[in-house]
């Protein structure tokens, strides 16, 4: 096996394109390297190198080599046909070399493994943190298990196989144990998995099915919530008390020895988790509220990674979709010299009689109940352009007070590129979600201000805070995919490049461009899947959820 040491090293160039920069990790017969792309300047990839033998083995060693080759080829084939936000993309495959190595080139995920995060936090994780991570995995497993004609069973969920990227999103990075589920088989071809996370049917050589991954999810949650302990089906009664009592019933059902006693599917388990998380967001109100339940608003700050990337356009698109779904919300603009929302809404023409912007000089009260400007389920709160010293813009709390005065389930803040404004920085302390927009002009990513914004966003990320990237004016070209890979994180949605003639005609006719039917349809098709993930389950359009969410707010206020 000495030849196994003759793999890649820093400075080597793979396939004439990928220059190895450093080794990221090593285990078993595989190593993972960080590589610079010599064709796409500034782009970096993760290269997985696996040793499968150079043809010189005989007997049992030759059979083992053939098995390793089969597993790696199966992994490459499996990952190359999958597409999901919680999976890395395979972008290249380098076949078997004379030295006996195979290579997969995939997305480089800047972040850390879940195991590294867990250990860095002192082997502590709250119920809510573990549940939110598990919910991401339920959505991913539902995708894998829904593939037809043969669902994909992963069979090895564990902290070292999961990466947390810059936005706090999980990525499942190793598919070496995955297999297609064939219901006609009574047993798996191989007994495989990690002790401590593998289901009983795996360790006993029986057939694994989608419920096998549910056991793995339960074992992962047990590990995270018990301080790093491993669950065993031979555990004595009462050992489940290592779990926090609130979420213990959910985890222990996933860990039942018989697959029939677990949840029927990842979708069912995810629905249970969503209900549990929704209940945690409704703590008991103060005595002043009469004991009513209270649901904090979803505060979404929408900004541009650099000027001109379309933050206001994206904020308006989000507002129009929420309106269409019957979700009450407010769109608020900070006071700045540009005041783009004020201009796009043609406020001087369309605002109701007696309307005054909250920052209007000479008596703007700042309270949205005074001559409110509503449009269906939308409350517009544009700012009047600020040009003179002594304006409310110089008091960061002035704009921030609006977020305490408005009583709507969803609050959208259109912050443009004003990331360094004191009012914006104060707002970010209470935001649940930050959206940043980009456009196809790649050179703007190299601006010094972009690096500052990215550092600010990285420091903002934490428990209960989500970061989203929205691509604006996304072209439908063959080169678009290469451009998307240069972005700081995988986009949450791609807003298409729209017909400029349609946009201009809407404005010429005194209408908001988003209200033009072809524009509205295109934005809805692009943004709806992301919006479904963004909204809490109570506010989603399946049924009367948004009405229920509004009633919770009305009772508490």
- List, as residue ranges, the binding site for ATP: 48
Tokens encoding 26: 């090593």
**Residue numbering of the annotated binding site:** 48
d(CA 116, CA 123): 10
Most distant pair of Cα atoms in the chain: their distance: 90
Reported in sequence order, the residue ranges of 89-147 that DSSP labels E, i.e. its strands, are 90-94, 101-107, 112-113
SS3 for 119? helix
Return the DSSP state at 72: H
d(CA 148, CA 401): 52
Return the DSSP state at 232: -
Q: Which residue has the tokens 């010293």?
A: 389
- Contact criterion met (CB below 8 Å) for 295 and 409: yes
Determine if the peptide bond prior to 149 is cis (ω within 30°): yes
d(CA 297, CA 544): 18
Reported in sequence order, the residue ranges of 28-100 that DSSP labels E, i.e. its strands, are 30-37, 44-51, 90-94
Residue among 329, 386, 370, 240 nearest 549 (CA): 329
- b/e code 38-67 from CB counts within 10 Å (16+ = b): eeeeeebbbbbbbbbbbeeeeeeeeeebee
| Other beta carbons less than 10 A from residue 387's beta carbon | 9
d(CA 304, CA 108): 24
Residue among 338, 381, 342 nearest 358 (CA): 381
d(CA 38, CA 18): 6
d(CA 214, CA 306): 42
Query: 503: burial class by Cβ within 10 Å (0-12, 13-18, 19+)?
Result: middle
- Contact criterion met (CB below 8 Å) for 132 and 256: no
All residues at 6 or more sequence positions from 327 whose CB lies less than 8 Å from its CB, including other chains: 377, 409, 410, 535, 539, 546, 549
d(CA 114, CA 24): 15
Return the DSSP state at 191: -
Tokens encoding 177: 């144990």
Handedness of CA 414, 419, 425, 431 (dihedral sign): positive
d(CA 291, CA 269): 30
The count of C-alpha atoms lying within 13 angstroms of the C-alpha of 20, restricted to the half-sphere facing its C-beta, is: 19
């Amino acid at each position: 096996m000495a030849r196994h040491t003759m793999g890649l090293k820093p400075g080597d160039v793979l396939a004439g394109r990928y220059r190895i920069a450093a080794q990221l990790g090593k285990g078993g017969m595989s190593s993972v390297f960080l590589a610079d792309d010599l064709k796409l300047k500034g782009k970096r990839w993760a290269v997985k190198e696996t040793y499968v033998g150079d043809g010189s083995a005989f007997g049992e060693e030759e059979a083992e080599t053939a098995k390793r080759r089969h597993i790696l080829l199966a992994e490459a084939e499996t990952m190359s046909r999958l597409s999901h936000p919680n999976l890395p993309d395979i972008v290249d495959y380098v076949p078997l070399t004379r030295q006996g190595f195979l290579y997969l080139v995939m997305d480089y995920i800047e972040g850390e493994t879940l195991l590294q995060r867990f250990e860095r936090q002192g082997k502590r994780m709250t119920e809510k943190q573990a549940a939110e991570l598990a919910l991401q995995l339920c959505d991913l497993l539902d995708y894998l298990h829904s593939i037809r004609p043969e669902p994909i069973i992963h069979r090895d969920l564990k902290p070292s196989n999961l990466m947390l990227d810059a936005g706090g999103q999980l990525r499942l990075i190793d598919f070496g144990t995955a297999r297609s589920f064939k219901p006609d088989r009574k047993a798996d071809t191989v007994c495989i998995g990690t002790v401590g996370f593998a289901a009983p049917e795996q360790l006993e050589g029986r057939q694994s099915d989608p419920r096998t991954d549910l056991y793995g999810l339960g074992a992962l949650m047990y590990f995270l919530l018990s301080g790093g302990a491993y669950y065993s089906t031979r555990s004595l009664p009462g050992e489940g008390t290592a779990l926090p009592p609130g979420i213990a019933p959910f985890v222990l059902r996933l860990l039942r020895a018989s697959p029939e006693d677990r949840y029927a599917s990842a979708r069912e388990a995810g629905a249970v988790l969503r209900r549990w998380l929704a209940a945690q967001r409704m703590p008991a109100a103060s005595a002043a509220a009469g004991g009513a339940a209270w649901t904090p608003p979803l505060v979404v700050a929408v900004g541009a990674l650099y000027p001109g990337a379309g933050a206001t356009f994206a904020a308006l698109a989000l507002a129009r979709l929420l309106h269409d779904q019957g979700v009450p919300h407010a769109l608020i603009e900070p006071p700045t010299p540009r005041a783009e929302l004020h201009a796009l809404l043609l406020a001087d023409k369309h605002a109701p009689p007696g309307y005054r912007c909250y920052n209007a000089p000479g008596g703007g009260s700042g309270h949205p109940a005074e001559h409110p400007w509503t449009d269906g389920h939308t409350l517009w709160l544009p700012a009047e352009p600020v040009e003179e010293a002594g304006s409310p813009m110089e008091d960061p709390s002035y704009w921030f007070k609006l977020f305490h005065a408005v009583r709507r389930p969803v609050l959208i803040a259109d912050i443009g590129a004003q990331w360094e404004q004191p009012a914006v920085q104060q707002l970010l302390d209470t935001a649940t979600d930050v959206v940043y927009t980009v456009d196809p002009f790649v050179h703007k990513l190299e601006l010094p201000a972009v690096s500052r914004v990215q550092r600010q966003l990285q420091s903002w990320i934490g428990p209960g805070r989500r970061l989203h990237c929205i691509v604006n004016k996304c072209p439908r070209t063959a080169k678009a995919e290469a451009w998307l890979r240069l972005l700081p994180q995988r986009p949450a949605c791609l807003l298409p490049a729209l017909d400029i003639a349609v946009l201009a005609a809407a404005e010429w006719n005194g209408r908001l461009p988003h209200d033009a039917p072809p524009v509205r349809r295109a934005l809805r098709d692009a943004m709806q899947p992301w919006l479904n993930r963004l909204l809490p389950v109570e506010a989603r359009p399946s049924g009367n959820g948004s009405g229920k969410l509004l009633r919770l707010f009305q009772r508490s206020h």
